Chain A
């Protein structure tokens, strides 16, 4: 018995090493100087240039990209993540409310039209989506960055499921008390959905922050680059240089993963529950 438990821990620890090792290496290496890294390879011990590297990455223009600072990219990532999450929660709550709490003529067909969006991921329709954005003059705008990503119904289904689990008696009681659709939504549905809203918001924030393909297509002006979008720029510069700025590349990677990782860690319980019950 003791032996099996011991091996269980060995396996789990190797798993932890596999998952955490690269992060640790990236973090530690980012605190060394580029030439140092080039000479000695990656490092698992902290170097003395932590603040220096991150200050350069965050505030200096140039480096990997022409004239955008890490801070600006971080801001863009935040705008994308928050805008996407807020939009998703708002849109899907309203739509799910209509689908669950109203009797109307085109309910079934509407439901199917929304459902279909789950079948085709953005990746299979990138080119035509890009053309549409061009036609609408939405490239290199925040609207173009955020809104098309909202065209998938994951959140709607999540809320729909949840609304259906709310007891019917609440609506009956509310109607006896004379509450209309708006009042019922604001005074009953919204307060009841608070945890659900928070869980979806968190998942969607991480999802939005981590978007790569769409921002790559939508933003050609550096002013709109997000951190994740900037990763490719890092590599393109990197290929041509003699001693690449490994430290800065690692620092940007750390910055790009920090907020989502923190959120997943802090809200772990919500995150896991939201994920296993909704699938994205």
Chain B
């Protein structure tokens, strides 16, 4: 093709199929050559002009605060606001030695593991079933994904109603089994409510991705699998699940970040600033120390620790997925 008419309205596949798109995304790593086009404009100033707004915002609202976080993590702020003094790594050692912090870190790990596990497995189960049925497929899909649009604190509010001491149906239900649930007062009950709400909120996301991953598996592969293996369950474990592995791994990382950070709204609504006897996660602790406790240095040190965790997760994601995605 020598001349593509300028009026041609269709670009090359604006929306490639779901799973294909997912993998394409991972191929687009920064290691890839950034100048993909054979022909480009040559202009000394224009690209900077186009980039200026984005870069300005990134510098003011991303790099500046990030550098500040790192910087103030090495300083101890005077409680009365009269300057601050350099304390080296003291903030970090204080944080890492504190039993309270380590307890919260432990809870965060358990919370993250449980939320990730349950939201992934329920999402996968529903996706497999929705992929299998023909009748009502679209209706199921619509009804199952809408919770995605709910903000975490709104989900938290709904959860508070369900677990309400007076009117909550879930509390009454638990009462039938002799479980006296006291969300907000009892540590374990509160943790339970947090996990239930967080899982509920995340199921649709996993459902969407698993379903589009399943639909990306070619019909020929499925048919071959059916011929080779009659047992549906075994077919799922030996053929379908390995093919879904890249999607699952991607979701594992996303769900981990979700449980670590995005659940803030859920936790805030359930705990309501009173962390006293309630379980909280590391992000919530950063917030509490920074805004309620006015401990700038400690809060910053915790921020930096979280930054490192995210950093490691992201690097892990890129390294690992590179090896995992072997087809397509």
Contacts and interface: CB of A to CB of B under 8 A. Distances in A.
B207 to A, nearest CB: 8
B140 A175 contact: no
B197 to A, nearest CB: 10
Contacts of A167: 4, 11-12
Contacts of A128: 64-66, 68-69, 72, 300, 303
A156 B143 contact: no
Interface string B14-26: 1110110110110
Given A173-B3, A276-B208, A278-B25, A232 B58 contact: no
A59 interface: no
B169 A256 contact: no
Contacts of B61: 129, 132, 147-148, 150-151
A255 to B, nearest CB: 10
B140 A42 contact: no
B54 A114 contact: yes
A141 interface: no
Interface of B: 1-6, 8-9, 11-16, 18-19, 21-22, 24-25, 28, 30, 34-44, 46-48, 50-51, 53-55, 57-58, 60-66, 68-69, 72, 122, 125-126, 129-130, 132-133, 136, 140-154, 156-158, 160-162, 166-169, 172, 200, 203-204, 208-209, 212, 232, 254, 257, 261-262, 264-265, 268-269, 272, 283, 286-287, 290-291, 296, 299-300, 303, 306-307, 310-311, 314
B272 A232 contact: yes
23 contacts: A19-B144, A22-B200, A23-B146, A23-B158, A38-B166, A91-B53, A99-B51, A102-B40, A103-B41, A110-B55, A114-B58, A119-B314, A128-B65, A147-B57, A166-B11, A171-B37, A187-B6, A210-B151, A210-B154, A272-B145, A272-B212, A276-B22, A277-B15
Top-5 shortest CB links A-B: A277-B21, A210-B151, A98-B50, A128-B65, A127-B290
A45 interface: no
B129 A8 contact: yes
A201 interface: no
B136 A9 contact: yes
A4 B25 contact: no
Contacts of B28: 157, 160-161, 164
A246 interface: yes
Contacts of B3: 169, 173
The interface size bin for chain A is: 35 or more
Contact of A173 (B6, B60, B200): B6
Contacts, number: 355
A190 interface: no
A70 interface: no
A153 to B, nearest CB: 7
Nearest to A260: B149
A92 B68 CA distance: 26
Nearest to A136: B60
A195 to B, nearest CB: 5
A107 B35 contact: yes
Given A110-B51, A232-B272, A151 B62 contact: yes
Contact of B140 (A12, A111, A123, A168): A12
Nearest to A213: B264
Contact of B133 (A12, A110, A217): A12
